[in-house]
Chain A
């Protein structure tokens, strides 16, 4: 695979480097060997319980109603198909071969030496996806991508690259999940997103891991002039730990980034989430909105907006609901304005459901429980175009379960 030697070298040097945030993991504790799973053109090799599990991560196992599909189980690509012209989907290893190491994209946004997880993803890469919308292509249906851990205790290393060429429109739904029988594992996921001039990329990521799975995504995004990057992140199910801090650079005039996350921290879960947006071009705009509920776990909501030029506008919002006695919520909103003429704001609120809100709804005829449910439901409201109905139903069920803890 034609990767620049300096990349490898930097990775080797960072093999033991601890990450800036999140609990430190011993990578040796996880398996690196897994069975090779055969390519599955018709999705026939999945048991019914697996199908249900995949559905909960938004993965429908069908090529209809999708512009393209990608499914990686453990280290194997089980499905990869493009159904719409103007869209290219390849396993990243294949793309590296085809495009001579993807020198303009591969490790150009995420530093390979950021920490031991980025280093491991380079030194022991399994696979990942390369998804590209060609210039001007309007990809109307969502692309469905799935990263699936099918073997107990496995560390899955992936590297994804998404390119929205000038004027293109693209929506990717990535579902990340484990086999119903898998309880532990590690997912290392590098993702680099390139939103070029006037392009529009919506990236929806649904995490539906198991209780002892650790997750360390490392993502970075660059948005050029007039480009729009919308990110939705949903994690409503128990997971041992997730630590991620995607970094967005708005480098072109009028570039826009919106990052939404809806998160439930269950007992035993440690979620250290956040994001940074650097506004480097005039008239660029950013909005980071985190809605976090803890039912007993630890949730950290970070957010940093950096305004480097005048005439930018950015808002950061961290809202947290603590629905259990033991839950911990830590909101860290940061703003940096480096010049005059920036307009930046943040709002952070952590607490329980306000009695005033409950009583307002009770005055309309709802019982106390119904009122609290309505408020939690509103708080976790997930309205994302293109989500499969089965996933919406599952989100609804999860919200109902969350309400039981009230």
Chain B
């Protein structure tokens, strides 16, 4: 047996990639530069695709390959390219001011991770399975952490573009949870969520452009001026 065929090796690789995914999420919280944020998101999605691939490889589950390929295509390549073009078109490069300052947000993210662990712990012990079937099960806390931190980022950011990014990373968390718990939802549901998010991202992108045209700013808090 070659060493990469050993499920233990696969487990290590998945664990490692999951940790990197989490680190990238926190990097996104800490980074002010939009372009870096988008790239971090791209790498994160790429790693997710890799995790899905690994699980698919060891379990021989074909439909996860499809989900992984879709993730790679849309979230790791297409969306980042679109967002990057959007950013260069509206000529902003920096998230000026999040509501909570960076060190504190980073530390809050740390706490959210801890919370995710507490929430996931009972689920994890219940679902402990031996061998290949248990592969990737331990990424559940990471998935929940991605979700929570993504949510926090949506609350914390002012710019619509960064909110889109936060939403996307939140969805990454859902995806990870899905593959870690059930080896993927039924393909059709997966596709549904996928295109839902994609379309949402597109609409938001257009909206962002419009908001800027109208208000000369992307600050979402200014939308409150719309009410009569």
A and B physically associate = no
Chain A positions within 8 Å of B, measured between CB atoms, are: none
